[in-house]
């Protein structure tokens, strides 16, 4: 289910990132600290009063080109307007109302989106009185908050969840595989969508997705039904978005949330850059089945070792996704395109795979016999048994005598043994450790 999106907008230095961190706080989904997963976030998930939503920190967007504050503000505000369901417009009580604030207000006012006015740095009674001048911006009652002290955040969140829309999900049958294409600009996402659909020529219909920037396109191939989730909105407005690479992460997150399988596109001609790791990291953290698609392979100068060398580079750069298969193709010439959908179907099946408890425990017992857990301060981890509690992604709970004794390296060892026994290609595996007495 796609979450509604809340964007934090405002001129530089009003404390957007501090409030962003306050909002997502420890409500951010717990992610294992695996090597290679990027931690540079402009997008996080939050929950308040039972409502879940995503938060965009526009302060995290770096703008290339001329160092013009107003130009930067305008681009950030436009990005937020395009993406958000609710906008939190932040100003600074300490600095007072500025011309830049009024500039942002004009942009937001024209958007027609719900806008909540939050005045940060209200750290004392004197500052509390300073918020009244912001009434002139025309967004109703300003909400005084303090990012440093945490005051007023609850009031702000109450207003945010009241303004959130109720999103309805397009319903698909269980056997339909929802596929999202993600990647930085100019890797060929649109070309690949067109190539897949042009090749099959069995488009059922174009359905407007639950988010205004996605188009769901169902089609069928070899008896299997698919839905392509294409972030069509990326093609709307040209240069504003081309100058902001991190914007692609926002688009990707909306598509990832709704997908079963995520295709991480890489430009074979340009090679791997840091932004590719950012985007792939979100697919991993969302627990989605994934594969790497190296596009534009037709223009790469090759010998008999080129493909293996490129695959080795992917493994080196994406240490946290060694389970993801790699497909090399050209959307333009349709070279090797026929290899893609069988791999998509395979990883979707692995993502939904459920292992019987006795088989899982046989593997875990053998793993422990081969390599017993090390001792820690005289105590040894004792594994009682394991069970699979969920699919999409496959999630295991291991019951032990003391969860504190489960070292990260031994958990990784168990994961590798489980993968070796049951494959699970293309999907992350989640392993949680619980005390035997916690079982209920």
Q: Residues comprising the binding site for GTP?
A: 10-17, 57-61, 120-123, 183-190, 230-234, 295-298
Going by the DSSP 8-state scheme, the letter that residue 293 receives in this structure is E
Handedness of CA 220, 222, 224, 228 (dihedral sign): negative
Query: Which residues have CB under 8 Å from 77's CB, separation 6+?
Result: 9, 58, 104, 107, 108
Contact call for residues 184 and 266 (beta carbons, < 8 A): no
Q: Nearest-CA neighbor of 189 among 341, 293, 339, 337?
A: 293
For tokens 């940060």, the residue is: 120
DSSP string spanning 235-286? GSSTHHHHT-TTHHHHHHHHHHHH-SEEEEEEETTT---HHHHHHHHHHHHT
Phi, psi of 364 (to 5 degrees): -65, -40
What region, left, alpha or beta, does residue 201 occupy, with left being phi > 0 and alpha being psi -120 to 50 degrees? left
Annotation: binding site: 10-17, 57-61, 120-123, 183-190, 230-234, 295-298
- β-partners of residue 86 are 6
End-to-end CA distance of the chain: 28
């Amino acid at each position: 289910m796609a979450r509604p999106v809340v964007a934090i907008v405002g001129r530089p230095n009003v404390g957007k990132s501090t409030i962003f961190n306050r909002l997502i706080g420890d409500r951010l989904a717990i992610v294992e600290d695996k090597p290679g997963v990027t931690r540079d976030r402009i997008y996080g998930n939050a929950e308040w009063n039972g409502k879940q939503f995503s938060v965009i920190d526009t302060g995290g967007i770096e703008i290339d080109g001329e160092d013009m504050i107003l130009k930067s503000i305008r681009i950030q505000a436009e990005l937020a307007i395009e993406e958000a369901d609710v906008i939190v417009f932040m100003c600074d009580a300490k600095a007072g109302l500025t011309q830049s604030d009024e500039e942002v207000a004009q942009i937001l006012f024209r958007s027609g989106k719900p806008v909540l006015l939050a005045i940060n740095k209200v750290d004392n009674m004197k500052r509390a009185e300073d918020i009244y001048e912001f009434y002139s911006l025309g967004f109703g009652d300003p909400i005084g908050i303090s990012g440093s002290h945490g005051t007023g955040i609850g009031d702000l969140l109450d207003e945010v969840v009241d303004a959130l829309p109720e999103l309805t999900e397009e319903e698909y049958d269980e056997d339909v595989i929802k596929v999202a294409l993600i990647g930085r600009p100019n890797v060929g996402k649109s070309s690949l969508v067109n190539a897949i659909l042009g090749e099959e020529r069995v488009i059922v219909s174009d359905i407007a997705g639950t988010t205004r920037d996605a188009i769901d396109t169902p089609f069928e191939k070899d008896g299997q039904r698919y839905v392509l989730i294409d972030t069509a909105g990326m093609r709307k407005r040209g240069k504003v978005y081309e100058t902001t690479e991190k914007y692609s992460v926002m688009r990707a997150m909306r598509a990832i949330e709704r997908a079963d399988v995520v295709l991480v596109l890489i430009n074979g001609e340009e090679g791997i850059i840091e932004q590719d790791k950012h985007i792939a990291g979100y697919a991993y953290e969302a627990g989605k089945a994934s594969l790497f698609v190296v596009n534009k392979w037709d223009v790469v100068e090759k010998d008999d070792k080129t493909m293996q060398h490129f695959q080795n580079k992917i493994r080196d750069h994406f240490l946290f996704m060694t389970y993801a298969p790699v497909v090399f193709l050209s959307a333009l010439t349709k070279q090797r395109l026929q290899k893609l959908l069988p791999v998509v179907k395979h990883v979707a099946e692995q993502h939904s795979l459920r292992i019987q408890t006795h088989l899982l425990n046989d593997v875990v017992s053998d793993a422990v016999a081969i390599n017993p857990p090390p001792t820690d301060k005289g105590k040894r981890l004792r594994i009682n048994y394991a069970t699979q509690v969920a699919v999409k992604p496959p999630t295991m709970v291991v019951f032990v005598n003391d969860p504190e004794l489960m070292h990260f390296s031994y958990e990784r060892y168990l994961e590798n043994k489980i993968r070796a026994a049951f494959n699970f290609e293309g999907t992350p595996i989640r392993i949680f450790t619980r005390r035997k007495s916690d079982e209920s």
